[in-house]
Amino acid sequence: MTDSLCIDNRAKPEPGVHALIVGVSDYKFLPNRGPNGDPMFNLTRLTSPALSAYRFHSWLMKEHNAGTLVKPLKTCRVLLSPSPEEQAVEPQINSIQNVGIATFGGLKAAAQVWRNDASKEPNDITIFYFCGHGLWSSPTETILALEDFLAPPIATPLAQCLDFSNLRKGMAPQSGLQDIALTQLYFVDCCRNFPQYLDDVTDPTIGKVFDVKKNKSDRRKVSVFYSTVPGGFAVSIHRRESVFCEALLYSLSTAVDKEMAYNHGVWAVTTDHLKRAIERFLSNKYKIADDLPPEAIAARAPICYLPGPPEITVTIGVNPTIAPPDEVFLTDIENSQRQPAAPNWDGTTLWGAPVPMGSWRLRVEPGNNSPYSKYYSKPRYIDYDVELPWNITLTATPRSVP
């Protein structure tokens, strides 16, 4: 069994990042995607999680190759169980060197060597990413289902799942792990609903990857990003990355700490700003208003660096709807930059314009035959946290000549 090691820079002496990425779509003991799930949990095979994990791996490799991660990538392990639909959409999903299969045994083996590699330097960083089926049980917390979920014997249906709290606790400093990486990031993209089975069973058998020892001082900076609240359902899109993955990848390119940027000239994406950016993206694009669970988000832990101000895609709602030759555009406060907006952006009635983070004005210049006046907004600061769309209402009054 491979330990799924895709990147190996362990010989380099400087501190670095150790990543473990898991995406499970092709659940071998679940029915194919459709209206009817398995009789015990009502679940089917999926067509998004493995692709989501692949997209996250691609982002990580891009940042590593560009040298923009907060620390260089030392190890990366990937386990994928892609669906045929995902392989058709993204043939490169099978191209990752030494990729493992996302079974429980595969994850257990990978997690143990991942932890061992990350136990030699407290200044290292660990990243864990999971996308697939999940459940929630108190006090067990979140349960992550692997490819062989519901494998016989059905008497212990959760034996091939991971007790996520076991993974987290096992990564704490403890006997034999005094020098484990102290900055730890967890991205958990799965449903966290409470099934009837867990209401009926008082002591379910759930898979564990570590024996957890006592620890006297847990000095970790831990950030856990869940895609949904306890009891909630994650959102996936057929043959595409999940909604949470889309929000995460966009936010990793925009969620800069403004104070660090303007006071120190460093455009750093940090954990606290990342959480807020994900929430804003989900609200702006998908109208998902629930805040992500607030648990364990380390303040100001840098993840990666941007070369300059991030580009924010601004959506603009114009009422009543206008069409070319009317012009909608954004100008910065010095009027030195002008960014035209595109009509019918993203297949909707909204307009859209990508602009660098900063202060901008919204302007509308109606065409010669338009009944509407020119529109000039007050300056508005545009960053990852701006509420969108930027809605304006035009007035049908005679236009004065400027």
Residue 136 lies in a domain: yes
The answer to whether residues 189 and 320 belong to one domain is: no
Residues 6 or more apart whose CB falls under 8 angstroms from that of 244 comprise 52, 131, 189, 227, 228, 234, 235, 278, 282
Pair type for strands 375-376 and 358-365: antiparallel
pLDDT truncated to tens, each residue of the chain (402 aa)?
467 999 999 999 999 999 999 999 999 999 998 888 999 999 999 999 999 999 999 999 999 999 999 999 999 999 999 999 999 999 999 999 999 999 999 999 999 999 999 999 999 999 999 999 999 987 558 999 999 999 988 889 999 999 999 999 999 999 999 999 999 999 999 999 999 999 899 889 999 999 999 887 899 999 999 999 888 899 888 889 999 999 999 999 999 998 998 899 899 999 999 999 999 999 999 988 766 776 678 778 999 999 999 999 999 998 888 766 788 999 998 778 999 999 887 777 889 999 999 999 999 988 888 888 889 999 999 999 999 999 999 888 654 544
Residue 400 lies in a domain: no
The answer to whether residues 40 and 70 belong to one domain is: yes
The answer to whether residues 252 and 382 belong to one domain is: no
Domain count, the chain: 2
Residue 401 lies in a domain: no
Pair type for strands 358-365 and 327-332: antiparallel
The answer to whether residues 115 and 219 belong to one domain is: yes
Residue 329 lies in a domain: yes
What CATH number is associated with residue 389?
Answer: 2.60.40
Instruction: Please tell me the predicted confidence (pLDDT) of residue 334.
Output: 76
Instruction: Please tell me the predicted confidence (pLDDT) of residue 345.
Output: 77
The answer to whether residues 144 and 56 belong to one domain is: yes
Instruction: Please tell me the predicted confidence (pLDDT) of residue 391.
Output: 93
What CATH number is associated with residue 83?
Answer: 3.40.50.1460
The answer to whether residues 76 and 164 belong to one domain is: yes
The answer to whether residues 222 and 167 belong to one domain is: yes
Contact assessment for residue 96 and residue 54, using Cβ atoms and an 8 Å cutoff: yes
The answer to whether residues 323 and 277 belong to one domain is: no
The answer to whether residues 358 and 256 belong to one domain is: no
The answer to whether residues 162 and 266 belong to one domain is: yes
User: Which domain-ending residue is among 306, 335, 354?
Assistant: 306
The answer to whether residues 173 and 226 belong to one domain is: yes
Half-sphere exposure of 77 (CA within 13 A, CB side): 28
Residue with tokens 């709602």: 317
> Cα–Cα distance between 64 and 153 in angstroms, integer?
42
The answer to whether residues 88 and 67 belong to one domain is: yes
Instruction: Please tell me the predicted confidence (pLDDT) of residue 336.
Output: 83
User: Which domain-ending residue is among 281, 306, 331?
Assistant: 306
What is the extent of the structural domain holding 227? Answer: 5-306
Half-sphere exposure of 34 (CA within 13 A, CB side): 6
Residue 127 lies in a domain: yes
Residue 273 lies in a domain: yes
User: Which domain-ending residue is among 272, 306, 340?
Assistant: 306
Instruction: Please tell me the predicted confidence (pLDDT) of residue 139.
Output: 57
Encode 169-192: b = buried (16+ Cβ within 10 Å), e = exposed.
bbbbbbeebeebbbbbbbbbbbbb
Instruction: Please tell me the predicted confidence (pLDDT) of residue 338.
Output: 92
Report the sign of the C-alpha dihedral through residues 258, 259, 265, 268, in that order: negative
Instruction: Please tell me the predicted confidence (pLDDT) of residue 397.
Output: 66
Q: How distant, in Å, are the alpha carbons of 97, 273, 308, 388 from that of 331?
A: 46, 26, 19, 17
